[in-house]
Amino acid sequence: MARRAAVLLALLPLCGQAAPPGDRYVTVPGGAFRSALRYEDAADGTTVAPYRLMRRPVTNAEFLAFVRAHPEWQRGRAAVVLAEPRYLSQWSGPLSLGDARPDQPVTWVSWFAAAAYCAAQSARLPTWTEWEYAAAADETRRDAREDPAWRERILSWYAQPSTGALRAVGGQPPNVYGVQGLHGLVWEWVDDASALLVSADNREQGAADKLRFCGAAALSTDDRENYATLMRVALLSSVQAADATGNLGFRCAKDLP
């Protein structure tokens, strides 16, 4: 198993684009972007600054290395207010994976744990806009969202029950930036997940109780056809920062040097 992971890692640079071999990050060039969410202060879209994003979601093996180096984030040691009791419950022990495979994306991680992992790499979680911007691409286009086939592909992942084992990272075709597995693998934490408070009752339309939300959170969706994005936001807004689920992982981002 370890050998196969090593082989995969060796192959990885071949898939990448415009990045030095072995680099876990790619540079995502900035640009104008219209989110599927309606930000009141960005009615005409926004501009995404260039940033660096991990090619792949963080794996069990990578997260294991992190908790070895940072014992305070080991299962059983992390404070429950920062990581719920099921934190890393797919592992057989605090420092052993058991049946969890090293190359599977790490799940059952809270937002706090994910943020701590990224901080330890001198990185941070991507913002929703950064994540959505990178995830709007397909293999050849920077914005494939209008293509029904792109949507269908994402929806087809939603249509699979998640009772089977998670697939390994690295097997997904890199998108135009060289980023892999943004769709079809796991949900991913974003830095401002707690601000993504879409209404718990999707049908409230304009009458949503905006007082419950603050700042950028007075959100509603701009693109009703973009169910694929909508469902990801719905998932993120259903969880609290200490929560974890079996399908929610993460990857890190960085500002350009």
Partner 1 sequence: MRQSLLPLLAIALLASGCGQRPAPDADTGGSAKGDFGPPQGHPIKAVLTSPPHVPPPTGRDKPAKVIVELEVVEKEMAISEGVTYTFWTFGGTVPGSFIRVRQGDTVEFHLMNAPDSKMPHNIDLHGVTGPGGGAASSFTAPGHRSQFTFKALNAGLYVYHCATAPVGMHVANGMYGLILVEPPGGMPPVDREYYVMQGDFYTTGRYREKGHQPFDMAKAIDEHPTYVLFNGSEGSLTGDRALAAKTGERVRLYVGNGGPNLVSSFHVIGEIFDKVQTEGGTHPQENVQTTLIPAGGAAIMDFRLEVPGSYVLVDHSIFRAFNKGALAILKADGPENLAIYSGKEVDEMYLGDRALPNLAAVSQAAAAAKAGDLTVEQQIDAGKVLFSGTCSTCHQANGEGHPGVFPPLAKSDYIAKDPKRLPQVMIGGLTGKVTVNGVEYDSVMPPMGQLTDDEVANIATYVLNSWGNPGGRITKAEARDIRAKSPVGSVAAH
Residue 35 contacts residue 222 (beta carbons within 8 Å): yes
Residue 235 contacts residue 244 (beta carbons within 8 Å): no
Please give the single-letter amino acid code of residue 119. A
For residue 1, count CB atoms less than 10 angstroms from its CB and return exposed for 0-12, middle for 13-18, buried for 19 or more: exposed
- Residue 235: both structure tokens together: 């998932």
As measured in angstroms, the least distance from the Cβ of 181 to partner 1 is: 15
As measured in angstroms, the least distance from the Cβ of 84 to partner 1 is: 9
For residue 235, count CB atoms less than 10 angstroms from its CB and return exposed for 0-12, middle for 13-18, buried for 19 or more: middle
Residue 106 contacts residue 63 (beta carbons within 8 Å): yes
As measured in angstroms, the least distance from the Cβ of 164 to partner 1 is: 9
126, HSE (Cβ side, Cα atoms, 13 Å): 30
Give whichever of 14 and 207 is closer to partner 1, judged by the CB atom.
Answer: 207
As measured in angstroms, the least distance from the Cβ of 157 to partner 1 is: 8
Kindly give, in sequence order, each residue whose CB lies less than 8 Å from that of residue 257, ignoring residues fewer than 6 positions away. Answer: none
Give whichever of 68 and 157 is closer to partner 1, judged by the CB atom.
Answer: 157
Q: Are strands 37-38 and 220-221 parallel, antiparallel or unpaired?
A: antiparallel
- 18: nearest Cα among 184, 174, 250: 174
Give whichever of 56 and 232 is closer to partner 1, judged by the CB atom.
Answer: 232
Residue 191 contacts residue 115 (beta carbons within 8 Å): yes
Q: Which residues bind to partner 1, rule: CB under 8 A?
A: 86, 148, 151-152, 155-156, 158-163, 198-204, 221, 227, 230-231, 233-235, 237-239, 243-247
Give whichever of 142 and 151 is closer to partner 1, judged by the CB atom.
Answer: 151
For the chain, give the longest Cα–Cα distance: 56
As measured in angstroms, the least distance from the Cβ of 88 to partner 1 is: 14
As measured in angstroms, the least distance from the Cβ of 162 to partner 1 is: 5
Give whichever of 62 and 132 is closer to partner 1, judged by the CB atom.
Answer: 132
For residue 246, count CB atoms less than 10 angstroms from its CB and return exposed for 0-12, middle for 13-18, buried for 19 or more: middle
- Residue 42: both structure tokens together: 């960005």
Give whichever of 51 and 187 is closer to partner 1, judged by the CB atom.
Answer: 187
Give whichever of 69 and 207 is closer to partner 1, judged by the CB atom.
Answer: 207
As measured in angstroms, the least distance from the Cβ of 226 to partner 1 is: 10
